[in-house]
Amino acid sequence: MPFRQFVLKVHSRCDLACDHCYVYEHADQSWRARPKVIAADTVALAGDRIAEHARQHQLREVRVVLHGGEPLLAGARKLGEIAGALRAAIEPDCSLDLRIHTNAVRLNAEFCEVFAAERIKVGVSLDGDQAANDLHRLFATGRSSYRQVIAAIELLRTDRYRDIYAGLLCTIDVRSDPVAVYRALAALDPPDIDFLLPHATWDAPPPAGISTRARAPYADWLAAVYDAWAADGKPVSIRMFDSIAATTLGGVSRTESLGLAASDLAVIETDGEIEQADSIKVAYDGAPATGLNIATHPLDAAAAHPAIQARQHGLAGLSAVCRRCPVVTSCGGGLYAHRYKADTGFDNPSVFCSDLEKIITHVRSGLRPATGPAARPRTALRLSGEQFDALAAGYGDTASVGQLVNGQRSRQRTLLALLREQADADHDRAFNAGWELAAQVEQRQAAALARVLAHPYVRAWAEKCLRAATAPDRPRGALAGQGAGLPAEAAHLAAIAAAAAIRAGMRADIDVPVTDGYLYLPTLGRLRVGPESTATLTAADGGFEVRAHSGKWHVQPGEAGPDPDWEQVRELRSGQFTVLLEDTDQYRDCHEWPAAPRLSEREAGDWQDQFAVAWPLIERSFPGYLPGLTAGLSAVMPLANDVPGREISAAARQAFGAVGAALPADGSDLALLLLHEFQHGKLYAVLDLFDLCDPADSRLYYAPWREDPRPLEALLQGTYAHLAVTDFWRVRRHELPGAVALAAAERFARWRMLTAEAVEALAGSGALTPSGTRFVDGMRATVEPWLGEPVPGAAAAAARRWAAERLAAWRDREEPERR
């Protein structure tokens, strides 16, 4: 795994005497033998090594942090020369994100001019208000550093230097007032605040002692900060809290102290020695050493070092206690250094284990507001053991799939709440108006709002907006001098709320966005209004009126002879069961294959004809899947197919309840693809509630249903879907006549063999969580009895030949690349 972040030590001494410093006050004392200032030829060689590494791994960007000791001791001119040398070496190959971390006591206009010219972002260590800061951050004489640091930060806040102000880093001391510390830091208007636990190990416990479930002082301190921050409207990014929220929703942590992401950082000392992260210095003398130097070794040699790779194993690299923990995906075992104990090395939970569990649980509870359109569903969000096992077997009854639906509802409302937190009162008026109308619908007829929010492509919209709103390179609202907290697409919430009001039969007036000439109403349809940006919608009595500069329309959904500009969402029906035939939603194009345009009446009729065959077939022949499909399937989305006769279908994680497909050959094929793709949908929903695989496992696996090797989670997805595919042919071979039955038997023989092999590959990967092991065991229990069912010899032989040819072709493709 390549390095993407580098700490370059430019000076190995410091002008402060902070008693909590990991460089000078803990176990490793290697600084004493280092050159005080990095030499120019060492800088040049570091730049060449990083550029070489970037080329070899085709990296688009690397980050280099100039560090110490105290890097400003190197002087402004020297730092400018270092920055110029690094850019000259690295930027022909990739982008360079250059930063410096400083105590800031020497930071003045001369330094800031150099940093602005060289595009160096400045991070500053400050432990809060003066009372908190003076607990540790003092000169050797005992004099406070506070006023000098504040003066430096005020310089960074000026218009001239604001762009190089990167944020503040604060080490926690539980003796300080947490709210006072937070407010003092937030008042300095930083782009980021990073709260750090004090460095400690099991052998050298933290100042406040080792936490327990009954006593977690660092969690209590952080919880007080979180509550004050949330009450203030979260005006500044706090990395720890943002990382907990991100990892809770399946994203990536922004700090190395949390999450399961593999470490991608190397340290280059003033003498060119390549070391592990500095924090490991707290473990024992020599702990970060690799024995490698940029003068004699490429960075790939360091990346292959066992100590570096030990931090890249994700879940598999954690202690047994951590792997069983319910918050492990957010915690990630805590900072690697904090796990150290002399007799067991790093194979332990963090010394802050109880603190981490408590604060993560506290922050997660704050992600779900108690009232409004983002209110938490009343139903429990976890699956019972019985429900989990029913889904693992490949089926799932009404109750278990209903819990998946509840989990999706909770996730959707959490996404809305997170968008609400990013919204600006002046700029995001359409979003805020939609929020207010949604709240009114919730009070009057909650079921109408719930129905629209449950539409698969509402989540697709919300996730797209949240990704844009929280992108690392996007300015953060007022902190960046701009009011826009959300992208323009967030205005779609007004249309969502309008659709809910229409369904509720409520009277409502709201401005709704127009995109590409259409006003879109999720679950209802779209109205062609022409080249407008917004239109005013008035809902009443189950219908609505739209007014724009280009005209006026009155629509009563479902009414005979509708307005020709109104394109209503159609339904597929079989008996009492219906699903939407979704060809109007503007966010539906989120599947592997592109969405088809609006269907003609004839094309929609073809879909209905096939559905009228497919659904009764499922009811008759596949009753084990029927309850789950009935509870969770809500939309079929036509896909574009530019190759006649090719069967394509897809499910998307951000669109639970929808199955995308091109119209297949007949109703039997439609039944198969509904079973197949809804398996994917169920597993995506399970993965939203449980971590089944280690996200750090980067190996690729053979999947016989694909041409390309697949990551572990993708192999799990394919295997789970092929439980249904195997079962389909297991049943159909007895229902079809003659040669067709023999072909069905061959497919059954083929897929039961390969699905069973894939189950064993999953089980033997060593990268399943405890929940994942239980899930795969459930899959095995389903497929194993099928292996004993008799099939004609010709069918079994044909299945073996197909599998062997497939594997041989795969090896021919893959092995030359590996060589």
- DSSP one-letter string for 3-32: --EEEEESB---S---TT-TTTSSS--GGG
Give the model's confidence band at 459: pLDDT under 50 very low, under 70 low, under 90 confident, else very high: very high
Give the model's confidence band at 377: pLDDT under 50 very low, under 70 low, under 90 confident, else very high: very low
Q: Which residues pair with 63 in a beta bridge?
A: 5, 97
Residue 674 tokens read as 């509904």
Answer yes or no: are the C-beta atoms of 778 and 392 closer than 8 Å. yes
Q: State the SS3 of 545-578.
A: EEEECCEEEEECCCCCCCCCCEEECEEEEECCEE
Pick the range with the lowest mean pLDDT from 12-21, 248-257, 658-667.
Answer: 248-257
Mean pLDDT of 23-34: 73
E strands present in 439-485: none
Pick the range with the lowest mean pLDDT from 330-339, 471-480, 548-557.
Answer: 471-480
pLDDT exceeds 70 at position 381: no
Counting Cβ atoms within 10 Å, is residue 81 exposed (0-12), middle (13-18) or buried (19+)?
Answer: middle
Task: Report pLDDT for 380.
Answer: 37
DSSP class of residue 376 equals P
Mean pLDDT of 298-311: 89
What span, in angstroms and rounded, lies between the C-alpha atoms of 465 and 420?
A: 11
pLDDT exceeds 70 at position 471: no
Pick the range with the lowest mean pLDDT from 269-273, 422-426, 709-713.
Answer: 422-426
Give the model's confidence band at 251: pLDDT under 50 very low, under 70 low, under 90 confident, else very high: low
Mean pLDDT of 355-373: 74
Run of H or E residues at 109: helix 109-117
Counting Cβ atoms within 10 Å, is residue 311 exposed (0-12), middle (13-18) or buried (19+)?
Answer: buried
Helices and strands, number each (H, E), in the chain: 25, 22
User: Looking at this protein, which amino acid is placed at residue 234?
Assistant: K
Which residue shows structure tokens 């593999």? 262
In 3D space, the residue among 402, 502, 405, 414 whose CA is nearest the CA of residue 462 turns out to be 414
What is the distance of C-alpha 330 from the center of its chain?
A: 11
pTM beyond 0.75, yes or no: no
Residue 667 tokens read as 């109703």
Run of H or E residues at 351: none
What span, in angstroms and rounded, lies between the C-alpha atoms of 68 and 70?
A: 4
Pick the range with the lowest mean pLDDT from 46-50, 305-309, 726-730.
Answer: 305-309
Going from the C-alpha of 10 to that of each of 80, 83, 462, the distances in angstroms are 12, 11, 44
Counting Cβ atoms within 10 Å, is residue 737 exposed (0-12), middle (13-18) or buried (19+)?
Answer: exposed
What span, in angstroms and rounded, lies between the C-alpha atoms of 601 and 622?
A: 30
Q: Which residues pair with 330 in a beta bridge?
A: none
Going from the C-alpha of 122 to that of each of 78, 153, 181, 765, the distances in angstroms are 16, 10, 21, 43
What span, in angstroms and rounded, lies between the C-alpha atoms of 284 and 342?
A: 9
User: Looking at this protein, which amino acid is placed at residue 816?
Assistant: P
Between residues 118 and 383, the one the model is more confident about:
118
Mean pLDDT of 287-311: 91
Give the model's confidence band at 379: pLDDT under 50 very low, under 70 low, under 90 confident, else very high: very low
Task: Report pLDDT for 671.
Answer: 97
Pick the range with the lowest mean pLDDT from 16-30, 259-273, 605-619, 682-696.
Answer: 16-30
Mean pLDDT of 100-126: 96
Task: Report pLDDT for 250.
Answer: 64
Residue 209 tokens read as 């002692």
Residue 545 tokens read as 């009126």
Task: Report pLDDT for 354.
Answer: 94
What is the distance of C-alpha 656 from the center of its chain?
A: 16
Pick the range with the lowest mean pLDDT from 191-195, 288-292, 643-647, 704-708.
Answer: 643-647
Give the model's confidence band at 112: pLDDT under 50 very low, under 70 low, under 90 confident, else very high: very high
What is the distance of C-alpha 781 from the center of its chain?
A: 31
The mean predicted confidence, pLDDT, of the chain is 89
pLDDT exceeds 60 at position 819: no
pLDDT exceeds 60 at position 817: no
Residues of the chain above pLDDT 70, percent: 94
Task: Report pLDDT for 235.
Answer: 84
Q: What is the CA radius of gyration of the chain?
A: 30
Q: What is the DSSP string of 697-759?
A: ----B--TTSSS-B-HHHHHHHHHHHHHHHHHHHHHTTTS-HHHHHHHHHHHHHHHHHHHHHH
Residues 6+ away with beta carbon under 8 Å from 156: 107, 112, 122, 124, 162, 164, 165
What span, in angstroms and rounded, lies between the C-alpha atoms of 570 and 524?
A: 9
For 711-732, how does the pLDDT look when each residue is reduced to its tens digit (9 = 90+)?
999 999 999 999 999 999 999 9
Give the model's confidence band at 522: pLDDT under 50 very low, under 70 low, under 90 confident, else very high: very high
What span, in angstroms and rounded, lies between the C-alpha atoms of 712 and 767?
A: 8
Residue 444 tokens read as 């009057």
Indicate the Cα dihedral angle 3, 8, 12, 18, nearest 10°: -70
pLDDT exceeds 60 at position 25: yes
In 3D space, the residue among 450, 442, 433, 493 whose CA is nearest the CA of residue 469 turns out to be 493
Task: Report pLDDT for 370.
Answer: 37
DSSP class of residue 157 equals H
Give the model's confidence band at 27: pLDDT under 50 very low, under 70 low, under 90 confident, else very high: low
Answer yes or no: are the C-beta atoms of 181 and 193 closer than 8 Å. no
State which fold the 5-365 domain adopts: TIM Barrel (3.20.20)
Task: Report pLDDT for 476.
Answer: 42
First to last CA, the chain: 18
Which residue shows structure tokens 């278990």? 400
Give the model's confidence band at 473: pLDDT under 50 very low, under 70 low, under 90 confident, else very high: low
Three-class secondary structure of residue 447 per DSSP = helix
Three-class secondary structure of residue 352 per DSSP = coil
Q: Which residues of 121-141 are buried (b: 16+ CB within 10 A; e: fewer)?
A: bbbbbbbbbbebbbbbbbeee
What span, in angstroms and rounded, lies between the C-alpha atoms of 244 and 254?
A: 9
Residues of the chain above pLDDT 90, percent: 67
pLDDT exceeds 70 at position 672: yes
Task: Report pLDDT for 803.
Answer: 87
Pick the range with the lowest mean pLDDT from 427-431, 475-479, 603-607.
Answer: 475-479
Task: Report pLDDT for 818.
Answer: 45
pLDDT exceeds 80 at position 178: yes
What span, in angstroms and rounded, lies between the C-alpha atoms of 298 and 48?
A: 10
Q: What is the DSSP string of 243-259?
A: HHHHHHTT---SSTTSS
Going from the C-alpha of 583 to that of each of 413, 535, 689, 690, the distances in angstroms are 25, 22, 29, 32
pLDDT exceeds 80 at position 815: no
Map out the domains of the chain as residue ranges: 5-365, 419-471+484-568, 570-690, 694-819
